[in-house]
C-alpha cells in the first residue's frame, strides 16, 4: 500500500520541479474568463422550487389570501473566472457567478399583480485539468466547490458545486471557450471569452 503512494508522491514532486520554460510555453500569469449560458437546474429543483407548492388548497380563508406564485423566470448564469496557473496542465479557477430571477404573482389582499425579484450569487474555487493543449486549441475538465448566496437580498446560504466534464478553448492570448457542466451554477452549456496575460 505504501509503495503506490510513494510512486505518486515522487511523480508529483518531479512535475512540480520542472522549470516553467520546459513546460510547453507555460506561463504563471493569470487567465481571466467571462461566460454566459446554462441554467441552474439542480439549484432550482433541489433548493428552491421544492419549498413552494404549485397546487394550492383553497379550502381555507388563509389559503385564499396567500400570495399565488406563478412560474419563476430566470436569466442564464453570468460568470467571471480568474484562473491561477500552477502547472502547465493544472490551474486553480476562482469563480464568481450570478443569475437573476423573477416571479409574477397575484396578491389577493392588494387586488393587484406583483413581481418578486431575487438574485443568486455563487463563489467557487477548484481545479482545472488541461489534458490536451496546442497553440490555438485546448481540451480540459474542471471541478469547483464553494458557497451559494441564494434569494438575495434575503441571503440564504447553500453549498455550491460545479463539475465540468468537458471544455474546449479556441485561440491564443484572446480566446473563446465552450464547456458542458452539471451543477448548482449551471446545467447544460456555457460559452464565453477570455484573456491570457
Contact 77, 185 (CB under 8 A): yes
Give the residue, 197 or 34, on which the prediction is more confident: 34
- The pTM is what? 0.71
With 80 as the cut, is the pLDDT of residue 44 above it? no
With 90 as the cut, is the pLDDT of residue 175 above it? yes
Contacts 24+ apart (CB under 8 A), 78-82: 78/34, 78/35, 78/36, 79/33, 79/34, 79/35, 79/36, 79/185, 79/190, 79/192, 80/32, 80/33, 80/34, 81/32, 81/33, 81/34, 81/35, 81/194, 82/30, 82/31, 82/32, 82/33
Residue with cell 446545467: 187
Nearest Cα residue to 99 out of 68, 120, 80? 120
Contact 193, 179 (CB under 8 A): no
DSSP three-state, residue 48? helix
Angle at 171 between CA 187 and CA 23, to 5 degrees: 100
Q: Which three cell numbers stand for residue 119?
A: 438574485
Largest CA distance in the chain: 74
Q: Where are the domains of the chain?
A: 24-196
131-162: pLDDT as tens digits: 998 889 999 999 999 998 887 777 788 899 99
Say what the pLDDT of residue 181 is: 92
Say what the pLDDT of residue 40 is: 75
DSSP three-state, residue 12? helix
Q: Which fold has domain 24-196?
A: Porin (2.40.160)
Mean pLDDT of the chain: 78
Q: Which three cell numbers stand for residue 63?
A: 389559503
Amino acid at each position: 500500500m505504501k509503495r503506490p503512494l510513494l510512486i505518486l508522491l515522487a511523480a508529483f514532486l518531479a512535475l512540480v520541479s520542472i522549470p516553467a520554460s520546459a513546460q510547453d510555453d507555460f506561463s504563471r500569469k493569470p487567465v481571466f474568463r467571462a461566460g454566459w449560458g446554462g441554467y441552474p437546474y439542480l439549484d432550482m429543483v433541489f433548493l428552491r422550487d421544492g419549498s413552494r407548492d404549485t397546487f394550492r388548497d383553497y379550502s381555507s380563508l388563509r389559503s385564499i389570501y396567500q400570495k399565488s406564485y406563478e412560474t419563476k423566470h430566470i436569466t442564464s448564469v453570468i460568470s467571471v473566472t480568474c484562473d491561477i496557473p500552477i502547472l502547465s496542465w493544472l490551474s486553480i479557477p476562482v469563480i464568481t457567478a450570478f443569475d437573476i430571477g423573477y416571479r409574477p404573482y397575484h396578491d389577493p389582499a392588494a387586488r393587484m399583480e406583483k413581481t418578486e425579484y431575487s438574485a443568486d450569487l455563487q463563489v467557487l474555487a477548484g481545479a482545472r485539468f488541461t489534458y490536451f493543449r496546442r497553440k490555438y486549441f485546448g481540451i480540459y475538465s474542471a471541478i469547483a466547490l464553494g458557497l451559494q448566496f441564494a434569494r438575495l437580498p434575503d441571503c440564504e446560504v447553500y453549498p455550491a458545486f460545479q463539475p465540468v466534464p468537458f471544455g474546449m478553448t479556441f485561440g491564443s492570448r484572446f480566446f473563446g471557450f465552450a464547456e458542458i457542466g452539471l451543477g448548482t451554477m449551471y446545467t447544460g452549456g456555457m460559452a464565453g471569452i477570455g484573456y491570457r496575460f
